[in-house]
Structure 1
Amino acid sequence: MPFVPLLLMVFRIGRLGAAISLLVLTVVGTACTAEGLGPITPPGTGIGTKLQLFQLYLVFATLIALPVATELKRRKLLFSAVQEGAALHRIIADRSGDIIMAVDADGTIRFASPSLSVIAGFSPAAVTGRLARDVVAFEDIDRVIRAHRNAMADPAATVMFEFRAHKASGELAWFESHARAISAEDGEVTGTVNVVREVSRRKARELNLARAAATDPLTGLSNRRIFTAAYEDAIADVTACHGRSYLALFDLDFFKRVNDRFGHATGDDVLRAFAAILKANVRSADTVARLGGEEFGVLFDGLSQVEAQEACERVRAQFAAATVTAPDGSSVATTVSVGLAALREDRSLAEALRAADAALYASKGAGRNRLSIAA
């Protein structure tokens, strides 16, 4: 039985080879069977039986050759598609301005596109085989690992996350990654493919906008919104630790006269000068804010009354001794009055401000340029 030549034709030419081989086998086999020389010639059988047996033989030959040819064709098409996909992937990876990375389930980098060297300064070979978290900022490692696992847990979803990572130069930069799971033929998730883009400029703009939203543009101090949020935190600390904190209000004396006589530009210089003195005499843990106009506030977190009072007196004395030069060369000097109030668990910000404001106006009424403490 010529099964081996038949299969060789199938492997060599495919379905066309199978058809040609079966045609030749039918013609030759039929002629030989009619002459009593067929592949199946049991002794004592008539020509009709031999032909029937040969037909059965052809059926088996066809059932062997055609499925094999079909499977070979399918594999050839699949291999061609894989080659085309690999070529397309390589073109995209080479031409993309973003970094394309393939990461195994355990976080090992298996592929990195050439753009990595342009954006981050690493050659693809330098990171291949390393754990992705090796170059991620320590504070963001958990976030990156969590995003990687989330992407693998939901192969149908694309997970977007931002993180900081070190470039080859040591610079810390912001990146945005879109991760999607990689699945094998059996459906098992083997890792993720990531499209990574540097977003340091965008993050810097966002940071500047956030800072602008929280900062008084004239003095650079915090604004009232930040002061309000800090008060809530300070009250929480007082409640939890049974500590002492104080709120101080500062109001520049006769500030309207400065604006009227020397102009608003000089008035702005006076406000900036006071803000610098105020910031220089409090701790970094304290919240310093311009609340509006010539009024400023400080939250002394965790200070005793004596310590808060001493800080306020330093500010008052230094500002009384300071001068600002007006455009006409005149020296401008003024003073500040202060009201100090303790923070209490049962006292809202509005109530604390009223208490400090009452003490502040007690200072004004007593002649200004002095500190008063709320009852």
Structure 2
Amino acid sequence: MVILIGISYLLPNLWKWLEQFNPSIDYRLPYNLSNDYWMFTRWSKYACSNYPVLIIGDSVVWGQYVTMEQTLSHYLNEMEGKNIFANMGVDGIHPAAMLGLIKYYGKAISNKRVILHFNPLWMSSKEHDLRGEEEFRFNHPRLVPQFFPKIACYKASFAQRMSVVTERSFSFSSWINHIRMNYFENMDIQNWTMQNPYKNPLKAITLEIPIPENKPQSKPVTWVERGMKKQDFSWVQVEESFQWNSFMKVIKILKARNNKVFVIIGPFNPYILTEESLIRYNNMKSKMENWLEGNGISYRSISDLPSEYYADASHPLKEGYAKSAEELFATESFRKWLENFKEKKFEK
């Protein structure tokens, strides 16, 4: 038993030495590794050692409709004149999942400056807020609370939930998932062998981490060109929102780890909303801003961009990222928040 425990501890650490990880400038996690939380841990450790500022958020931060050189982090670095901002975006990371990601797989994130992005889309309906009663398939179920608080729309079996808890507690389990995703098309070896009877599973392990494809994940056209219609999002009450409550907990964890947090809300596409929905949205946003102000959290709600800068309801195109970066650097509270980090230590 002792030997097995020793092996389960040593293997993941040995793997980090065998599987070289040398992120490029403007690095972002490969899209197909969005659910590889072991890989997120590696990236967060590297970023914490090489960048003074981390930007955490969903595909808005990651850059769904842009290349690596057109993301928010890139334009912020360009304006700063140094590569100090790391793109820690993960596709589909809603606040409830972000809480699990930071709590269990982002423990290295301490004593840093963290820009935390909030995408209001996660509060656009009761379903997206994960408060519906009917089963609702959502992103990153392995990151949300498995037993408490109860998420009624999450219908995983007891065995599945226990498997998730085990993965969080032992790096060996998350490492095994990394091997599956990186080398075996997210299958265990038995199923992969059945699907690929003439391939040698040992040869499949190349010890090479995929390089992020430097292209937009989705076609970079405007929401109008995409044929999107006006949306009457109902929005949820801030006081009742599970996603907003989770986001507040993320802030609390990051601050407890001695991080200095700056929150970005939006930008969100106002042109896609009906008049009534826009009123509800602005009321909701005001309440979020009041909470941040009341709790001494530095923040900026990005101003509305020109309509042609939006790819959909919440994702900017490259021009939108550039304009958002300019707005942040023009914001006094943001510039003040950036002061006094150890530049020499992090110069690249």
Task: Give the TM interval when normalised to the shorter protein.
Answer: under 0.3
The structure with more radius of gyration:
1
Scaled by the length of structure 1, the TM-score of the pair is 0.21
Structure (1/2) with the larger strand percentage = 1
Q: Relative CO higher for 1 or 2, CA cutoff 8 Å, sep ≥ 6?
A: 2
Structure (1/2) with the larger helix percentage = 1
